[in-house]
Amino acid sequence: MTQPPVASMTPRAARVAQASWLGLLILAVAWEAWLAPLRPGGSWLVLKALPLLALTPRIVRVEPKALQWAVLLVLFYLAEAVVRVFEPLPYRACALLEFALGSMFFAAAIVTLQPYKRAARARGKESTR
């Protein structure tokens, strides 16, 4: 996918997406290692951060394909947050933060991807002429 013109990009949305992605990664590790692990001393659920870690370098570079995959992936973290928000307080606070970060990433990534979608649609119309 080619890059759209720089003027059409939304750098603020890309920065919000990057920051919320990194926040989600840090929260995933901290939640299961120290803040509110399922078992005292940490839990194997800390491995839920690995998919986030795998996409992080490409999210930082704002690669469109990585953002598309990340939008799909973040839905699993949002679902976890919705389920775990009904647990006692330390878990609830982490779940609310996870929901906020995941929602911010989702919205910012969609806004960041809009110029790419417009450019692809324009290329598609040109090729049919």
Tell whether the model's pLDDT for residue 122 goes beyond 90: no
Tell whether the model's pLDDT for residue 108 goes beyond 50: yes
- State percent of the chain over pLDDT 70: 90
pLDDT at residue 78, as a whole number: 97
DSSP characters over 28-82: HHHIIIIIS-SSTT--GGGGGGHHHHHHHHHHHTT-HHHHHHHHHHHHHHHHHHH
Tell me, yes or no, whether 128 lies in a domain: no
- 25: CB partners within 8 A, 6+ apart: 49, 52, 53, 56
Tell me, yes or no, whether 5 lies in a domain: no
Tell me, yes or no, whether 56 lies in a domain: yes
Tell me, yes or no, whether 129 lies in a domain: no
pLDDT at residue 129, as a whole number: 63
Question: Tokens 């960041």 label which residue?
Answer: 112
Which tops the pLDDT comparison, 128 or 66?
A: 66
Question: What domain range includes position 39?
Answer: 12-123
pLDDT at residue 42, as a whole number: 77
Neighbours of 62 (CB within 10 A): 20
- Tally the domains of the chain: 1
Tell me, yes or no, whether 1 lies in a domain: no
Tell me, yes or no, whether 17 lies in a domain: yes
Tell me, yes or no, whether 6 lies in a domain: no
What is the pLDDT confidence band of residue 3, given thresholds at 50, 70 and 90? low
pLDDT at residue 7, as a whole number: 40
